[in-house]
Amino acid sequence: MKFVLTSWGSRGDVEPCAAVGRELLRRGHEVHVAVPPDLVAFVESVGLTAVAYGADMHTTMEALRNFWACLFRSPWRVRTLLTRFLAAWTLITRCRRELSATLTSLADGADLMFTGLPFEQPNANIAEYYDIPLATLHWLPARANGHLLPGVPAPLLRSAMTMVWSLVGLLMMRLDRRQRRELGLPKASGPSPRRSAERGSLEIQAYDEVCFPGLAAEWVQWKAQRPFVGSLTMELPTDTDDEVASWIAAGTPPIYFGFGSMPQCSAVDSAAETVAMIAAACTQLGDRALICSSWGDFDNVPHPDHVKVVRTVNFAAAFPACRAVVHHGGAGTTAAGLRAGVPTLILWTLPDQPIHGAQVKRLGLGTMRRLSAATQQSLVDDLRSILTPEYARRAREFAGRMSKPADSVTNAADLLESLASARSITRVTGRRRSRVRAATTSPARARGDPGRCQCRSGWGRRSASARWCPPGCGSAWAGRR
Residues 304-349 pLDDT 10s: 899 999 989 999 999 999 999 999 999 999 999 999 999 999 999 8
Total Cβ atoms within 10 A of residue 389:
7
The answer, yes or no, to whether residue 296 has pLDDT greater than 70, is no
The top-scoring range by mean pLDDT among 8-22, 178-192, 250-264, 449-463 is 8-22
Q: How confident is the model at residue 224 (pLDDT cuts 50, 70, 90)?
A: very high
- Per the prediction, the chain carries an average pLDDT of 85
Percent of the chain with pLDDT over 70: 85
Residues 410-428 pLDDT 10s: 999 999 999 999 876 655 5
Tell me the mean pLDDT in the region 400-414.
97
pLDDT at residue number 272: 81
**Could you tell me which residues come within 8 angstroms of residue 265 by beta carbon, excluding any fewer than 6 positions away?**
65, 68, 69, 72, 349, 371, 372
pLDDT at residue number 437: 36
Q: How confident is the model at residue 208 (pLDDT cuts 50, 70, 90)?
A: very high
The answer, yes or no, to whether residue 459 has pLDDT greater than 60, is no
In terms of DSSP H, where are the helices of 388-442?
389-399, 405-441
DSSP 319: G
367: enclosing H helix or E strand: strand 366-370
CA-to-CA distance for 394 and 365, rounded, in angstroms?
6
353: enclosing H helix or E strand: helix 353-362
Stated pTM of the model: 0.84
Tell me the mean pLDDT in the region 441-458.
38
pLDDT at residue number 269: 53
Q: What is the DSSP string of 145-188?
A: -S-SSTTS-HHHHHHHHHHHHHHHHHHHHHHHHHHHHHHTPPPP
pLDDT at residue number 295: 65
190, with CB counted inside 10 A (0-12, 13-18, 19+), is exposed
CA-to-CA distance for 205 and 212, rounded, in angstroms?
11
The answer, yes or no, to whether residue 434 has pLDDT greater than 60, is no
Residues 7-66 pLDDT 10s: 988 888 899 999 999 999 999 999 999 999 989 999 999 999 999 988 777 788 778 878
